[in-house]
Chain A
Amino acid sequence: DAKTTQPPSMDCAEGRAANLPCNHSTISGNEYVYWYRQIHSQGPQYIIHGLKNNETNEMASLIITEDRKSSTLILPHATLRDTAVYYCIVRVGGETSGSRLTFGEGTQLTVNP
Protein backbone atom coordinates (compact mmCIF):
# COMPACT_ATOMS: atom_id res chain seq x y z
CA ASP A 1 0.00 0.00 0.00
CA ALA A 2 1.18 3.53 -0.77
CA LYS A 3 2.38 5.58 2.18
CA THR A 4 0.69 8.79 3.14
CA THR A 5 1.95 11.92 4.84
CA GLN A 6 -0.26 14.13 6.96
CA PRO A 7 0.45 17.03 9.31
CA PRO A 8 0.34 15.82 12.91
CA SER A 9 -2.08 18.49 14.07
CA MET A 10 -4.35 21.28 12.88
CA ASP A 11 -6.70 23.77 14.48
CA CYS A 12 -9.90 25.17 13.09
CA ALA A 13 -12.48 27.64 14.33
CA GLU A 14 -15.99 26.37 14.82
CA GLY A 15 -18.18 27.11 11.80
CA ARG A 16 -15.24 27.52 9.45
CA ALA A 17 -14.10 25.04 6.83
CA ALA A 18 -11.45 22.54 7.89
CA ASN A 19 -9.08 21.54 5.09
CA LEU A 20 -6.97 18.50 5.88
CA PRO A 21 -4.16 17.73 3.44
CA CYS A 22 -2.64 14.37 2.59
CA ASN A 23 0.31 13.48 0.37
CA HIS A 24 0.38 10.10 -1.34
CA SER A 25 2.97 10.54 -4.06
CA THR A 26 3.51 6.79 -4.62
CA ILE A 27 -0.14 5.92 -5.12
CA SER A 28 -0.82 3.26 -7.74
CA GLY A 29 -3.44 3.45 -10.45
CA ASN A 30 -5.77 0.96 -8.75
CA GLU A 31 -5.53 2.47 -5.28
CA TYR A 32 -8.29 4.52 -3.76
CA VAL A 33 -7.93 7.34 -1.26
CA TYR A 34 -9.95 6.73 1.91
CA TRP A 35 -10.51 9.01 4.86
CA TYR A 36 -11.43 7.85 8.32
CA ARG A 37 -11.64 9.64 11.61
CA GLN A 38 -11.43 8.49 15.18
CA ILE A 39 -13.12 10.44 17.88
CA HIS A 40 -11.54 9.87 21.27
CA SER A 41 -12.22 6.40 22.69
CA GLN A 42 -14.35 5.30 19.74
CA GLY A 43 -13.72 3.02 16.76
CA PRO A 44 -12.65 4.70 13.51
CA GLN A 45 -15.46 6.03 11.35
CA TYR A 46 -15.46 5.88 7.56
CA ILE A 47 -15.87 9.33 6.00
CA ILE A 48 -15.36 9.22 2.26
CA HIS A 49 -13.28 7.70 -0.51
CA GLY A 50 -12.29 8.54 -4.08
CA LEU A 51 -10.27 7.30 -7.01
CA LYS A 52 -9.74 10.21 -9.40
CA ASN A 53 -12.71 12.52 -9.25
CA ASN A 54 -13.69 14.82 -6.46
CA GLU A 55 -16.32 13.37 -4.18
CA THR A 56 -18.87 14.82 -1.80
CA ASN A 57 -21.19 13.23 0.72
CA GLU A 58 -23.15 14.40 3.73
CA MET A 59 -20.05 14.46 5.90
CA ALA A 60 -17.31 15.94 3.75
CA SER A 61 -15.77 16.65 0.37
CA LEU A 62 -12.68 15.01 -1.05
CA ILE A 63 -10.52 16.86 -3.54
CA ILE A 64 -7.92 14.75 -5.37
CA THR A 65 -5.28 16.46 -7.50
CA GLU A 66 -5.11 15.58 -11.17
CA ASP A 67 -1.86 13.65 -10.73
CA ARG A 68 -3.43 11.87 -7.69
CA LYS A 69 -0.36 12.53 -5.59
CA SER A 70 -2.23 14.47 -2.96
CA SER A 71 -5.72 15.09 -1.68
CA THR A 72 -7.63 17.33 0.70
CA LEU A 73 -10.51 16.44 2.96
CA ILE A 74 -12.85 19.36 3.50
CA LEU A 75 -15.28 19.64 6.39
CA PRO A 76 -17.31 22.63 5.20
CA HIS A 77 -18.60 23.86 8.55
CA ALA A 78 -16.59 22.32 11.36
CA THR A 79 -18.25 21.75 14.71
CA LEU A 80 -16.80 20.86 18.09
CA ARG A 81 -17.88 17.26 17.48
CA ASP A 82 -15.52 17.10 14.50
CA THR A 83 -12.55 17.17 16.87
CA ALA A 84 -10.84 13.85 16.12
CA VAL A 85 -7.82 12.18 14.55
CA TYR A 86 -8.25 12.04 10.77
CA TYR A 87 -6.56 9.28 8.82
CA CYS A 88 -5.82 9.35 5.11
CA ILE A 89 -5.27 5.85 3.73
CA VAL A 90 -4.65 4.54 0.24
CA ARG A 91 -5.42 0.95 -0.68
CA VAL A 92 -6.80 -1.12 -3.48
CA GLY A 93 -10.56 -1.24 -3.72
CA GLY A 94 -12.55 -4.43 -3.45
CA GLU A 95 -12.13 -7.36 -1.16
CA THR A 96 -8.75 -8.74 -2.02
CA SER A 97 -5.64 -9.66 -0.11
CA GLY A 98 -4.41 -6.15 -0.74
CA SER A 99 -7.43 -4.45 0.75
CA ARG A 100 -6.13 -4.16 4.30
CA LEU A 101 -6.10 -0.72 5.87
CA THR A 102 -2.73 0.56 7.01
CA PHE A 103 -3.15 3.40 9.47
CA GLY A 104 -0.51 6.10 9.78
CA GLU A 105 -0.38 8.64 12.58
CA GLY A 106 -3.12 10.83 11.13
CA THR A 107 -3.90 14.48 11.81
CA GLN A 108 -5.32 15.56 15.15
CA LEU A 109 -7.93 18.17 14.24
CA THR A 110 -9.04 20.40 17.09
CA VAL A 111 -12.09 22.56 16.47
CA ASN A 112 -12.09 25.56 18.77
CA PRO A 113 -15.18 27.50 19.89
Chain B
Amino acid sequence: SAVISQKPSRDICQRGTSLTIQCQVDSQVTMMFWYRQQPGQSLTLIATANQGSEATYESGFVIDKFPISRPNLTFSTLTVSNMSPEDSSIYLCSVNRGSIYEQYFGPGTRLTVT
Protein backbone atom coordinates (compact mmCIF):
# COMPACT_ATOMS: atom_id res chain seq x y z
CA SER B 1 0.00 0.00 0.00
CA ALA B 2 0.99 3.66 0.09
CA VAL B 3 0.95 6.21 2.87
CA ILE B 4 -0.59 9.41 1.58
CA SER B 5 -1.20 12.54 3.61
CA GLN B 6 -3.13 15.64 2.69
CA LYS B 7 -3.18 19.12 4.14
CA PRO B 8 -5.40 20.68 5.22
CA SER B 9 -7.83 17.99 6.28
CA ARG B 10 -10.66 20.47 6.12
CA ASP B 11 -11.21 24.17 5.61
CA ILE B 12 -13.97 26.72 5.41
CA CYS B 13 -13.28 29.43 2.84
CA GLN B 14 -15.00 32.52 1.59
CA ARG B 15 -16.31 32.92 -1.92
CA GLY B 16 -13.74 34.38 -4.31
CA THR B 17 -10.68 33.17 -2.45
CA SER B 18 -8.32 30.31 -3.36
CA LEU B 19 -7.13 27.29 -1.41
CA THR B 20 -4.08 25.14 -2.08
CA ILE B 21 -4.25 21.50 -1.05
CA GLN B 22 -1.06 19.54 -0.51
CA CYS B 23 -0.55 15.83 -1.11
CA GLN B 24 2.53 13.99 0.19
CA VAL B 25 3.36 10.36 -0.60
CA ASP B 26 5.74 8.17 1.39
CA SER B 27 7.71 7.07 -1.69
CA GLN B 28 8.31 8.10 -5.28
CA VAL B 29 5.49 7.64 -7.75
CA THR B 30 5.17 8.52 -11.41
CA MET B 31 1.51 9.48 -11.59
CA MET B 32 -0.59 11.32 -9.05
CA PHE B 33 -4.31 11.84 -9.45
CA TRP B 34 -6.68 14.46 -8.08
CA TYR B 35 -10.36 13.66 -7.56
CA ARG B 36 -13.37 15.62 -6.42
CA GLN B 37 -16.32 14.19 -4.52
CA GLN B 38 -19.29 16.49 -4.28
CA PRO B 39 -21.76 15.98 -1.44
CA GLY B 40 -23.64 12.70 -1.77
CA GLN B 41 -21.96 11.84 -5.06
CA SER B 42 -19.28 9.55 -6.39
CA LEU B 43 -15.71 10.51 -7.18
CA THR B 44 -14.80 12.41 -10.34
CA LEU B 45 -11.26 12.61 -11.69
CA ILE B 46 -10.04 16.19 -12.05
CA ALA B 47 -6.58 15.66 -13.49
CA THR B 48 -3.53 13.44 -13.69
CA ALA B 49 -0.21 14.93 -12.64
CA ASN B 50 3.11 13.58 -13.89
CA GLN B 51 6.36 14.94 -12.54
CA GLY B 52 8.05 17.28 -14.97
CA SER B 53 5.11 17.81 -17.29
CA GLU B 54 1.82 19.67 -17.42
CA ALA B 55 -1.11 18.02 -15.73
CA THR B 56 -3.72 16.38 -17.93
CA TYR B 57 -7.22 17.61 -17.15
CA GLU B 58 -10.46 15.72 -17.60
CA SER B 59 -13.40 17.14 -19.50
CA GLY B 60 -15.06 19.88 -17.50
CA PHE B 61 -11.97 20.86 -15.53
CA VAL B 62 -9.54 23.61 -16.57
CA ILE B 63 -6.11 24.66 -15.44
CA ASP B 64 -7.16 28.21 -14.58
CA LYS B 65 -9.65 26.91 -12.05
CA PHE B 66 -7.61 23.96 -10.72
CA PRO B 67 -3.91 24.64 -11.23
CA ILE B 68 -1.73 21.71 -10.21
CA SER B 69 1.94 21.55 -9.35
CA ARG B 70 4.11 18.45 -9.28
CA PRO B 71 7.59 19.58 -8.25
CA ASN B 72 8.94 16.10 -7.42
CA LEU B 73 8.00 12.43 -7.31
CA THR B 74 6.50 12.51 -3.81
CA PHE B 75 4.53 15.75 -3.72
CA SER B 76 1.74 17.59 -5.52
CA THR B 77 -0.58 20.51 -4.91
CA LEU B 78 -4.04 21.31 -6.20
CA THR B 79 -5.34 24.85 -6.00
CA VAL B 80 -9.04 25.59 -6.10
CA SER B 81 -9.22 29.13 -7.46
CA ASN B 82 -11.83 31.84 -7.17
CA MET B 83 -14.03 29.56 -5.14
CA SER B 84 -17.79 29.48 -5.16
CA PRO B 85 -20.18 27.42 -2.99
CA GLU B 86 -20.37 24.86 -5.83
CA ASP B 87 -16.73 24.00 -5.12
CA SER B 88 -17.68 22.64 -1.71
CA SER B 89 -16.48 19.06 -1.95
CA ILE B 90 -13.99 16.54 -0.71
CA TYR B 91 -10.78 16.67 -2.73
CA LEU B 92 -8.66 13.52 -2.79
CA CYS B 93 -5.28 12.68 -4.20
CA SER B 94 -4.27 9.18 -5.15
CA VAL B 95 -1.31 7.28 -6.57
CA ASN B 96 -0.70 4.03 -8.41
CA ARG B 97 1.14 1.32 -6.52
CA GLY B 98 1.49 -2.41 -6.63
CA SER B 99 1.87 -5.16 -9.15
CA ILE B 100 -0.90 -3.96 -11.40
CA TYR B 101 -0.87 -0.34 -10.29
CA GLU B 102 -3.90 -0.39 -8.09
CA GLN B 103 -4.65 3.07 -6.78
CA TYR B 104 -4.37 4.24 -3.21
CA PHE B 105 -6.08 7.31 -1.87
CA GLY B 106 -5.31 9.98 0.64
CA PRO B 107 -7.74 10.84 3.44
CA GLY B 108 -9.18 13.79 1.53
CA THR B 109 -9.60 17.51 2.15
CA ARG B 110 -13.12 18.59 3.02
CA LEU B 111 -13.70 22.06 1.62
CA THR B 112 -16.69 24.24 2.45
CA VAL B 113 -17.14 27.52 0.60
CA THR B 114 -19.44 30.11 2.13
Contacts and interface: CB of A to CB of B under 8 A. Distances in A.
Contact of B105 (A43, A95, A102, A104): A43
Contacts of A99: 31, 96, 101
Interface in A18-71: 32, 34, 36, 41-46, 49
A100 interface: yes
A101 B103 contact: yes
A95 B43 contact: no
Interface of A: 32, 34, 36, 41-46, 49, 87, 93-95, 99-106
A32 B43 CA distance: 19
A35 to B, nearest CB: 10
A43 B100 contact: no
Contacts of B1: 46
Contacts of A104: 42
Contact of A93 (B42, B101, B108): B101
Given A32-B100, A43-B107, A46-B103, A95 B30 contact: yes
Nearest to B58: A100
25 contacts: A43-B92, A43-B105, A43-B106, A43-B107, A43-B108, A44-B92, A45-B105, A46-B1, A46-B98, A49-B102, A93-B100, A94-B100, A94-B101, A95-B31, A95-B96, A99-B31, A99-B96, A100-B45, A100-B48, A101-B43, A101-B103, A103-B42, A103-B43, A103-B44, A106-B42
Interface residues of B, number: 24
B101 A95 contact: yes
Interface in B40-79: 42-45, 48
A32 B96 CA distance: 14
A44 B96 contact: no
A106 B87 CA distance: 23
Interface in B86-100: 92, 94, 96, 98, 100
B38 to A, nearest CB: 12
Listed residue (B1, B45, B103) with the most chain A CB atoms within 10 angstroms of its CB? B103
Nearest to A46: B102
Interface string B8-33: 00000000000000000000001101
